[in-house]
Amino acid sequence: MNNDTVLITGASSGIGKELARQFAKHGHPLVIVAPVEAELQSVAAELSNEYNVPVQVLAKDLTDEDAVEEIYTELRSAGTEIEILVNNAGLGHRGNFWEVPLEQLLEILRLNVEAVLKLTRYFLPEMVSRGHGRVLNTASIAGFEPGPMMATYHASKAFVLSLSESLATELKDTGVTLTALCPGPVDTDFFPKAEMVETKVFQKGNVMAPQEVAEAGYEALMNGERTVVPGAVNKAMVFSRRFLPESGQAKMNEKMYQEVPPEDQKRERGDIEAKAAARE
């Protein structure tokens, strides 16, 4: 399937950029989407030079109401068929629900929920009609449990996870597969944008490199798996929810989202990602 064209959202950094690298390494033509064109052009140049694959750039902010329709229309006008859709873009914001500005909460839903639903609804019918295609949705282990201080983010990922599991069953025998990628904390721009670099989950938690997560996501997608949880610790956390009451899960996550004292803050965004890159 290495000739299949892949559309990846949130592809300018983090998991999205590393997923783009995985697909490029395996010969797939790419369409990469993110809000800032200069960042996308940099990624496109890097991947096309290294792996000799065509990379098309679409600078779109998926929180804009018309962005998904514009993506679909532009690709259709260009005669570009999307055989693999990767719904990766997402964001969160830490804080008490009643204190976070309503517009920030709605922005999370527009990107994490509405954009995923709309992109899947636009591109899935053509895959089913061709009897050929794959969809990868970046969910999160947050989708398995409640998250005080990150309530809307957890709820949005629960939606993505449930939608993915439902569609995976609907798509049985169509020739199309759908995989939910459910990482735990990952060293990406998510943490500074969510104002969470100082929190226990980033400073003390089992934070993975985006390269590791992307590799696991790519392999699971190509193997037709329904759900993949990268990392042994994350797998154990998901398994433990079968025995831990929701109130206990909520309290545990609430503690992880608290800030640690400045003297205990040892990690910076990019440390883990850089170490993984140095090993490659």
Q: What contacts 30, CB < 8 A, 6 or more positions away? A: 5, 6, 8, 11, 20, 23, 24, 44, 47, 53, 54, 55, 56
Residue 181: strand pairing partners:
138, 228
Indicate which residue of 17, 60, 118, 157 is catalytic: 157
Given the residues 17, 72, 118, 153, the one annotated as active site: 153
Q: Is 122 a catalytic residue?
A: no
Could you give the CA distance from residue 152 to residue 247 in angstroms, rounded to a whole number?
17
Q: Is the pLDDT of residue 168 over 90?
A: yes
> pLDDT class for 39, splitting at 50, 70, 90?
very high
Told to judge if 257 belongs to the known catalytic residues of this protein, a careful annotator would answer no
User: What domains lie within the chain, and their CATH numbers?
Assistant: 6-279 (3.40.50.720)
pTM: 0.95
Is residue 224 left, alpha or beta, with left meaning phi > 0 and alpha meaning psi from -120 to 50? Answer: left
The predicted-structure confidence for 142-155, as pLDDT tens digits, reads as follows: 999 999 999 999 99
Q: How confident is the model at residue 138 (pLDDT cuts 50, 70, 90)?
A: very high
Q: Is 185 exposed, middle or buried (0-12, 13-18, 19+ CB in 10 A)?
A: buried
Each residue of 63-80: pLDDT tens digit? Answer: 999 999 999 999 999 999
Q: How confident is the model at residue 280 (pLDDT cuts 50, 70, 90)?
A: confident
Upper half-sphere CA count for residue 178 (Cβ side, 13 Å): 26
